[in-house]
Amino acid sequence: MRNNSIKDADRASNECRLINLFHCYADNIGDRMCGPAQYFWPDKFEPSSFNRPVISPLPTILGGGQIFGQIATTLRRIEKRGISPSQMFAWGVGLPRKGRNDTKVREVSNQFSRFSTRNYEWKDELEFVPCASCMSPLFDRPAAVEHEIVLYLHRKKLPDIEKVSGIPTMTNAQTDPKVAIDFISSGETVVTNSYHGVYWAQLLGRKVVCIPYNEKFQTFQHSPTYAQPDDWMRNLKLAKWTNSLLEEYRALNSDFASGVNELLQPQSTS
């Protein structure tokens, strides 16, 4: 199904260019891999960061990633450019946890033709679409397990995390996505305080110990094992894993892309 959806996306892309707003220039490899248009419309989209001063009057995708804080400002700029709500799509957006700011979430989601979130707890009200980075072909041939444990850390959230000699360690500042994904894949258990460290480990079917620093780590469909920065080794024996989520999450993204394609088609004037 995924290959057919991608082919459908390619055909639709011949008829329409679009903007994809995401953290495309971040020094965080997870943020840069979040933009769905790079997988579904690679030759027809324009990547844009949120500090861009002018937005073209083209169909616009917001997301993926943790961008809810930028949406209100972006919507005002889009409105000034005359973009129709029927040509606005939010894809796998990270939201406040349900119960925190629900009124604002509903207000924002109603301003899009299609709105989806990566927060699983919203699934009964909003469409659940996990991060589009799962569409990367790098997950098709990941590295084999070489280490019992690997430590994959957020580049800025490092204080007080216990380091252990001999355990391979990498941060998400790594600029080569293949290197980052192969590193995560090389561990039987992945210990991480990176959102995408947890997510990619689950895509690959690895066990995960998560060291959370905010509530976004509580929004996964399958909760990892949680630990504190200074005692994560005591939780290794409790590490949770799931069967690889890759095909399931690719299907959810492909289905959403097909829905966007339908709305991008030129409307008949007959």
Decide if 64 is inside a domain.
Answer: yes
Co-location of 98 and 142 in the same domain: no
Q: Is the pLDDT reported for residue 8 higher than 70?
A: no
Decide if 171 is inside a domain.
Answer: yes
Co-location of 45 and 101 in the same domain: yes
Q: What angle do CA 85, 87, 89 make, to 5 degrees?
A: 90
CB of 138 within 8 A of CB of 177? yes
Q: How many helices (H) and strands (E) does the chain have?
A: 8, 11
Decide if 192 is inside a domain.
Answer: yes
- What gap in Å lies between CA 60 and CA 116, rounded to an integer? 14
Decide if 269 is inside a domain.
Answer: no
- What gap in Å lies between CA 71 and CA 106, rounded to an integer? 13
Q: Is the peptide bond before 166 cis (omega within 30 degrees of 0)?
A: no
Co-location of 95 and 173 in the same domain: no
Give me the pLDDT at residue 82, please.
Answer: 65
Co-location of 8 and 106 in the same domain: yes
Per-residue tokens: 257: 């892309």
Decide if 72 is inside a domain.
Answer: yes
Co-location of 50 and 118 in the same domain: yes
Decide if 88 is inside a domain.
Answer: yes
Q: What is the pTM of this model?
A: 0.89
Q: Is the pLDDT reported for residue 159 higher than 60?
A: yes
Scanning the chain, the segments in alpha helix (DSSP H) are: 2-13, 29-32, 37-40, 68-80, 102-109, 177-185, 195-203, 246-264
* Beta strands in 49-186, from DSSP E residues, in sequence order: 60-65, 88-93, 114-117, 127-128, 147-153, 169-171
What is the residue range of 118's domain?
Answer: 2-130+248-264
Query: Which range (11-20, 91-100, 220-229, 259-268) has the least confidence?
Result: 11-20
Q: Which positions ≥6 away from 209 have C-beta within 8 Å?
A: 189, 190, 191, 192, 224, 225, 226, 227, 232, 235, 236, 238, 239
Q: Is the pLDDT reported for residue 11 higher than 50?
A: no
Q: Is the pLDDT reported for residue 164 higher than 80?
A: yes
Number of domains in the chain: 2
CATH of the domain at 148: 3.40.50
Co-location of 236 and 168 in the same domain: yes
Co-location of 87 and 43 in the same domain: yes
169-205 pLDDT tens trace: 999 987 799 999 999 999 999 999 999 999 999 999 9
Scanning 99-176, the segments in alpha helix (DSSP H) are: 102-109
Tell me the sheet residues that pair with 65: 93
Co-location of 203 and 75 in the same domain: no
Decide if 176 is inside a domain.
Answer: yes
Co-location of 146 and 252 in the same domain: no
Per-residue tokens: 135: 């569409």
Co-location of 101 and 195 in the same domain: no
Decide if 270 is inside a domain.
Answer: no
Q: Is the pLDDT reported for residue 18 higher than 70?
A: yes
Q: Residue 91: name the closest of 21, 165, 184, 7 by CA.
A: 21
Co-location of 176 and 90 in the same domain: no
Give me the pLDDT at residue 51, please.
Answer: 78
Sign of the alpha-carbon torsion through 142, 143, 146, 151: negative
Per-residue tokens: 172: 């998400």
Q: What angle do CA 14, 16, 19 make, to 5 degrees?
A: 125
Q: Which residue is associated with the tokens 């027809």?
A: 44
Q: What angle do CA 263, 267, 270 make, to 5 degrees?
A: 155
Co-location of 218 and 149 in the same domain: yes
200-258 pLDDT tens trace: 999 999 999 999 999 999 999 999 999 999 889 999 999 988 889 999 999 999 999 99
